[in-house]
Copies of this chain bind each other. A is one copy, B any other.
Amino acid sequence: MMEIEASAIELLARVRQKAPLIHNITNFVVMNSSANILLAIGASPVMAHCQAEVEEMTSMSSALVLNIGTIQEDWLDSMICAAKTANSVGIPVILDPVGAGATRLRTDAINEIMGKASISVLRGNCSEVLSLGSSGIKTKGVDTSLSLSDQTVEAARQMAVDKKCVIAISGEEDCITDGHQVFRVRNGQPLMTRVTGSGCGLTAVTAAFCAVAENSLALATAAAFGYYGLCGDLAVKTSDKPGSFHVAFIDQLYSTGDEEIREHLKIKEVC
């Protein structure tokens, strides 16, 4: 347990010290909020989607975020190009399957990306992620109401093995697994679902933690989830309404330190 907290503290310190460049090819809704979230934790965001520059941009970055929230065909091409570049230069690729399962375009987009490049972490809510496995659950837009059962955890673990990546499912309780390690995270607040881009922001923060990770990406992802949720836990003490909560949340991402992590991180390795 103490080890997880020490890792989270170490990873956050490295993000703040190294300011890793995170290349985002993401949706129009959250570009601004994801950039602010990355800046708040100390990372350097860059958004670039034009195929003519993604290779160059990815090559100088420390992690790549792909998010299909407002996908269109030419952006998908750029994502695949960027992902292949990321693979060749050896930086992590974090994929957010926004709305997968809701439309064929989105499900196909994720399958095409994962078929053509190696993904390090797949980060979504339960219905999005599981719709990409064998269970084929139908999602309603970007929401989820599935809770984290043992079956879900097992499905995630199996999927991590099959797809050779970290599977990271957000929900009331989060589940992160690379097929071997499984982490459960209990930080975070329901109010975060009332602020757009909360999930996408977590994907970006996961990329920043993975960018500076030296070994287990599952652990780095769990640390990112725990830290992000913890900042929500602290922000809700300032406000329980979404406008002022979001402002307080950005402030917490910037200022939350070692002591809060040591005392309030709720990450458990379960197997």
Contact = CB atoms under 8 A, between A and B. Distances in A.
Interface string A24-42: 0001111111011001100
A146 interface: no
A102 B60 contact: yes
A197 B39 CA distance: 11
A163 B29 CA distance: 32
Contacts of A102: 46, 56-57, 60
A255 interface: yes
A116 to B, nearest CB: 18
Number of copies: 3
A237 interface: no
B197 A32 contact: yes
A79 to B, nearest CB: 14
Contacts of A73: 50, 52
A64 to B, nearest CB: 13
A196 B251 contact: no
Contact of A71 (B32, B45, B50, B104): B50
Given A57-B102, A244-B247, 18 more contacts: A19-B143, A28-B28, A28-B31, A29-B35, A30-B32, A31-B70, A35-B196, A40-B242, A46-B99, A46-B102, A46-B142, A47-B70, A50-B105, A242-B250, A242-B254, A243-B247, A243-B248, A246-B250
Interface of A: 19, 21, 27-33, 35-36, 39-40, 44-50, 52-53, 56-57, 60, 69-73, 99, 102-106, 140-143, 193-197, 239, 241-244, 246-251, 254-255
